[in-house]
Structure 1
């Protein structure tokens, strides 16, 4: 068992092309003894967004704080604290903060995500 406060985990900038104002904390992964899933906590500043991309694995998201949008291809879904999102494999998606405070969410992915390709959408980062 591992018990840790999320603030003890270093927050790092998301350095993927098409990202703006995003930070991530890798809360749990295979390096911590988690055999199947990695848990990450993202923080997107007001006006910020994740890259518009897809990948061959699913991920689950739980919104902790703030408000924003998740794009499913070109369809926008409003987000607020307490919402959950399932992003299916190969689905083009992007998270955007539309509020005045940070948008914070947990994102769970398979541990194998680091070995799998990410495809950037052609309109990546274009508003």
Structure 2
């Protein structure tokens, strides 16, 4: 929360506590939001903290909830109240209180953990199981996709461009290449092809795009800019940048697209 205090220290101006430290922090990618808890060194009230907590957990498109982290002068004696106010899916931050509790930091940390266990049931989970042998990996993941005429790939089928019909498009097919078949990558590689006179949906989203021209010539609109995209041209699309690809020729226009594996759904401009 450093440098954000000036936005929340007045009831008549600034930004709502939940919007700033909850919604906006989630939109910029925060998994944890640290904020001054009621009863600490700062003048946050109980309703301010509850608002932040609720905004961190409220539905927000495809984004997952984030963890509240009440802090700012908390002590061991505050843990019971924080447990009741925030619940298990939270992060409890004690800094100076640990140093002030005992000269033995290890002992203070142990007491802190004991106090946490007094309020919450401890649960240990094993990591997700991974393939245990090279043979299992070879069976689960096809690592060589043979290219075929007509911009096809062995063991990969063309699928509809989109399932939803709320975003207009015309004459587009897609081929999922890598990322949807157990590869364990953090990104997906797809191929899209637009028929003559066709176009992708005009959209925006929080995740970034990398677009690589592969076949024919297309026109990429991003914001107020229009780019002619030819084979092997590479374009980076920023978060929330409105974009669309069109084929204004008589030949197919195809491009490769790299996106995050975990990503939000497209939105209307």
Question: TM class by shorter-chain length?
Answer: 0.7 to 0.9
Aligned residue in 1 for 2:253: 103
Aligned residue in 2 for 1:14: 161
Greater radius of gyration (CA):
2
Aligned residue in 1 for 2:232: 82
With over 3 angstroms needed to count, the CA separation of the structure-2 counterparts of 1:109 and 1:100, relative to structure 1, is: same
Aligned residue in 2 for 1:4: 145
Shift of 1:30: 4.7
**Structure with more of its chain in strand, by fraction:** 1
Shift of 1:27: 0.4
Q: C-alpha root-mean-square deviation of aligned residues, in Å?
A: 1.5
In the alignment, the residues of structure 2 paired with residue 87 and residue 7 of structure 1 have an alpha-carbon distance, to the nearest angstrom, of 29
**Structure with more of its chain in helix, by fraction:** 2
- If asked which structure has higher relative contact order (CA below 8 Å, sep 6+), I would say 1
Shift of 1:36: 0.8
Shift of 1:77: 1.0
In the alignment, the residues of structure 2 paired with residue 60 and residue 94 of structure 1 have an alpha-carbon distance, to the nearest angstrom, of 13
Shift of 1:7: 4.2
- What count of residue pairs does the alignment treat as equivalent? 119
Structure 1: which 5+ runs fail to align?
122-127
Normalising by structure 1, report the TM-score. Answer: 0.86
Question: What is the DSSP-based 3-state SS (H/G/I as helix, E as strand, rest coil) of the residue aligned with 1:12?
Answer: strand
Question: What is the DSSP-based 3-state SS (H/G/I as helix, E as strand, rest coil) of the residue aligned with 2:229?
Answer: strand
- Runs of 4+ in structure 1 deviating by more than 6 angstroms, as ranges, are none
Normalising by structure 2, report the TM-score. Answer: 0.42
In the alignment, the residues of structure 2 paired with residue 48 and residue 7 of structure 1 have an alpha-carbon distance, to the nearest angstrom, of 25
Question: What is the DSSP-based 3-state SS (H/G/I as helix, E as strand, rest coil) of the residue aligned with 2:194?
Answer: strand
